[in-house]
Amino acid sequence: MNLSKYIIPLLFISLLLTSACKKEFLEKEPLGVQTSENLFNTAENATLAVNACYDPLSWDEVDNADHNYEWMFGDVMSDDSEKGSMPSDLPQITEMQEWRTTANNSFTAAVWHNVYIGLFRCNTVILNLPEAEGVNTEIKNQLLGEAYFLRGYYYFYLSRLFGGVPLFDAPVNPSEIDNVQRASLAQTYAQIDADFAMAASLLPEKSAFDANEMGRATKGAALAYQARVAMYQIGTENANNHNWQEVYDLTNAIIGSGEYSLASNYSSIFEMEGENGSGSIFEVQCVSNNEDWSPRKTGTTNTVIQNPRTTWGWGFNNPTQNLMDSYETNDPRLANVMYGDGSVVHGNVIEIDIAENATGYLSRKAALEPAFKPSNIKDTPQNIRKFRFADVILMNAEAAYHTGNESSAIASVNQIRARAKASTYPKGASEGSMEYDAIPEADLEGVLDPLPNTLTGQELLNAIWKERRNELAMETLRYWDLIRTGRYLNTLSEEVKGRCQSHSLTGTANIIPVLPIPVNEVQSWGLSQNPGY
C-alpha cells in the first residue's frame, strides 16, 4: 500500500471528483468497469480509493486558482503574522484578518469545496469497503481507519472555521439534496470525536509502516487529534463534556507508546531531511511535478507563496515583531522561525523588499533549500507538517496543569526547552555553507533554563502557553490556541474586536469567532448563515 511521497487517485478520477457541496450529480452509468460497489473487491483498488481520500489535503487551489492555506487562518488571523506581499495582492486574506469578510470570499469557498470533496471520498470508502470480499480483515481495518481519520480531520477543519456544518455519513444521493440540515457545533464535534476514536481503534502504530508508507494515518495520529479536538472543545463549546484528564490520558498514551521522540536538533525539523522524522505524527506528503498552476497537484504551492519575491516566491505570511519579541534572547528556535533582510538562508544572503512585505520578516520554516527547487517554480516537494510530538508534550503539560499535577507540567515544558537549547543555528546560516553551525556556549548562558519547580498557578499556565507559541510558531496553531484560551479578543484593536464579536457564536467557555458559510452553499442547500453575515 504505497502512499510514497505523493497521494493521487489512480482510480475514482471521474467518480470521486463529484462534490458533495454542489447540486451537480452524475446521472449516467459509469463508462468504465469500475463502480463504487465493485471497486473495493481487491486490496490494491481499495488502497487507491483511500489514497484518493488523502488527495484534497494538499490541494492549495481550486479550479479558478482560489487559494486555501491553513496559515491564512492559523497564522495571519493571529498576532504571529501579517498577510504580507503587496497590499493589493490577495486582499481576501486581509478581510478575514480584520473581520470584514463576506460570504463571497473565494478563499473560504475554496476550503469548503476541497474539504467536502474529501468527505465525499471518505464516505464512499466507509460505505463500501466493509462489504468488500476480496480484502482481508487486517488490511480492511487499516484502510477503514484511515478513512475515519480523514473524515474526522476534514470535519474538524470545517468546524473551527464555520461552526456546525452539514454532516454526511454516506455519499449524498440526488433525492437528499433538498433535505440537508446544518448540524449544531456540538453535534459536529460529536461526529469528529467518534471518527477519531474509531480510527484509533482500527489503525496500527507508526512503526508498522514501511518508509515508503510514511504519511498514512496511524494510531498515534488519531489519538493526537482526539486530544486536540477535546482540548479545543473544553475551551470553546463543550456540550460533549470533555475534561482535562481525558487530554492527559490520551497524550500519555502517545508518549508512552515509544513510537515518537523529539528530534535532537530543532533546526532540522523543517528541512527536507527532517520529513517524517521521529517527532512527526502527521504530515502531508508532497512531491514537485513541475506543472503550471492547477488545483490537482502532487506538490504544494504552500512553500512558494511564503518565500520572498526577490528570489522565487510571493512573499506572503510575514511573522510579526510581536512574535519575535516573545522569544528569549538567543533562543535557537527564533532563527528557525523567521528571518529578515540580509539574513543568510541555505547559504545565500536574502534580500527582502519592504514594499512587498508587511513586517520585514518571512517564515524560515517555509524556506526550501535550492537543491529542491523545481525548474518550474509553481509547486515544491516540501511536506506540510500538521502534528508534531512536541505539540503532544505541550498538550500533556497543559492537561497536567489543569488536573493539579504541576510538577509533571513543568517537567514536560522543560523537555521542550532542553531540546531547543541543544539545537544549532539553522542549516546554511553562514554564507556559502549548508552546514548546521553550533551556537557558541557563551551565547546560551542563561537562555532557556529549566522552569523552576516553584513556578505555580497562572504564572505556570502562562509559561506553558508561551512555550507553545515559541515552539509551534508559524505552524498554523496560534489563532486556535488564542480562541480556546479566551485570549483572542485581547489581541485585536477595539474596532476589529467589535466586528469579530458580531461574527461569533456563544460557547460554553469562550466565544467562537466564525467565518461566513460560502454564499453558494447557503443558497444551494438552504443553510442558515453565521452571525452578522
CA dist., res. 405 & res. 397, Å (int): 9
CA 484 to chain centre: 16
Do 182 and 163 contact (CB within 8 A), yes or no? no
- Tell whether the model's pLDDT for residue 70 goes beyond 70: yes
**For residue 427, what is the DSSP state?**
B
pLDDT tens-digit profile of 142-168?
A: 999 999 999 999 999 999 999 999 999
Report residue 435's pLDDT band, with 50, 70 and 90 as the boundaries.
very high
For residue 273, give Cα distances in angstroms to 270, 276, 382: 8, 9, 10
Average pLDDT along the chain? 91
Contacts of 340 (CB under 8 A, 6+ apart): 352, 360, 361, 362
* Separation CA 393–CA 411 (nearest Å): 10
pLDDT in tens, 26-37: 344 444 556 666
| Cα 487 to Cα 157, 158, 243, 516, distances in angstroms | 21, 22, 20, 22
Q: Give tens-digit pLDDT for 352-409.
A: 999 999 999 999 999 988 888 877 777 889 999 999 999 999 999 999 999 999 999 9
Split at pLDDT 50, 70, 90, the class of 6 is very low
- Which pLDDT tens digit goes with each residue over 274-317? 999 999 999 999 988 766 665 556 788 898 899 998 888 899 99
Of 114, 2, 121, the residue nearest 58 (C-alpha): 114
Contact 265, 336 (CB under 8 A): no
Q: Are 36 and 49 in contact (CB under 8 A)?
A: no
pLDDT in the model for residue 311: 84
Beta bridge partners of 387: 282
* Residue found by looking up cell 516540501 in the block: 382
d(CA 124, CA 126): 6
- Say how far apart CA 141 and CA 201 lie, in whole Å: 9
Residue 463 confidence (pLDDT) = 98
Say if residue 21's pLDDT is above 50: no
Contact 200, 226 (CB under 8 A): yes
Evaluated on CA atoms 205, 211, 212, 214, the torsion sign reads positive
pLDDT higher than 80, residue 212: yes
Domain boundaries, the chain: 304-506
Residue 44, C-alpha cell as written in the block: 490494491
Taking alpha carbons only, the member of 508, 487, 511 closest to residue 500 is 511
CA torsion 169→170→176→180, rounded to 10°? Answer: 30
pLDDT of residue 295: 58
Name the residue with cell 503574522.
81
Cell of 33: 468497469
H-run or E-run covering 504: strand 504-506
Which amino acid appears at position 274 of this protein?
G
Point out the least confidently predicted range of 2-11, 186-195, 312-321: 2-11
304-506: CATH, from 3.30.465.10, 1.25.40.390, 1.10.10.10, 1.10.150.530:
1.25.40.390
Query: What pLDDT is recorded for position 1?
Result: 37
- The CA distance from 478 to 75, in Å, is 6
The per-residue pLDDT for 27 is 42
45 alpha carbon, distance to own chain's centre = 28
Q: Are residues 321 and 40 in contact, defined by beta-carbon separation less than 8 angstroms?
A: no
pLDDT in tens, 124-137: 999 999 998 889 99
Identify which of 269, 280, 284 has the alpha carbon closest to the alpha carbon of residue 384. Answer: 284
pLDDT, residue 257, reads 98
Q: Residue 78 in 3-state DSSP?
A: coil
Q: Write the Ramachandran bin of 24: left for phi over 0, alpha for psi from -120 to 50, otherwise beta.
A: beta
Q: Copy the grid coordinates of residue 300.
A: 504544494
Specify the pTM.
Answer: 0.93
pLDDT-derived band of residue 9, with 50, 70 and 90 as boundaries? very low
Mean pLDDT, residues 77-82 taken together: 98
Residue whose C-alpha is closest to residue 193's, from 227, 160, 221, 216: 227
